[in-house]
Amino acid sequence: MALREILVVPHPALKQVSQPVERVDDELRALMDDMLETMYDAPGIGLAAIQIGVPKRVIVMDLARQDEPKQPQYFVNPEILWSSDETAPYEEGCLSVPEIFDEVDRPARVKLRYLNYQGEQIEEDADGMYAVCIQHEMDHLDGVLFIDHLSRLKREQAIKKVKKLVRAA
């Protein structure tokens, strides 16, 4: 396993649409292991492959609290089959938009289909933090950042602040 560099706005790769994965094999599992290690190190709760410069439709997440055992989840070629009309606001942040947090409205519940770490197809319902996080990460696969859901002014301010942080580092 290896730590990978997390791309930050305005890196052009973050606007790229990721490509479907043909099969889950050892090479892809090694990528997911690297992604998970990178996410934990950041620290974060979700990471899409494009955030480390790999344009594949792959996501890792772990929603366990700090005092709980790790519960890594792997999503290959995830798709939303259904989403509720009901929305829920949630304050989001992103490893690719460091130190920026803002409220985003998303469907409160979704039904997902994806391949897991073993390549098995899974269908399940998600709500609460799980629904928010998977939708946030799936946006990355389509070149969308959470700040794209904000007003143009807020988005421009966020990018400006991140650029300033990067220069100061």
Active site residues: 137
Q: Which two tokens stand for residue 1?
A: 């396993």
Task: Report how far residue 86's alpha carbon sits from residue 65's, in angstroms, rounded to the nearest whole number.
Answer: 26
Task: Please report, for residues 10, 36, 42, 83, 161, the alpha-carbon distance to residue 105 in angstroms, rounded to integers and kept in the order given.
Answer: 23, 26, 25, 13, 23
Cβ–Cβ under 8 Å, residues 136 and 45: no
Report angle CA 97, 52, 74 to the nearest 5 degrees.
Answer: 100
Residues 6+ apart with CB under 8 A from 130: 63
Task: Report how far residue 113's alpha carbon sits from residue 117's, in angstroms, rounded to the nearest whole number.
Answer: 13
DSSP letter for each residue of 40-51? HHTT-SEEEGGG
Q: Which two tokens stand for residue 120?
A: 């098995």
Is residue 96 classed as helix, strand or coil in its secondary structure?
Answer: coil
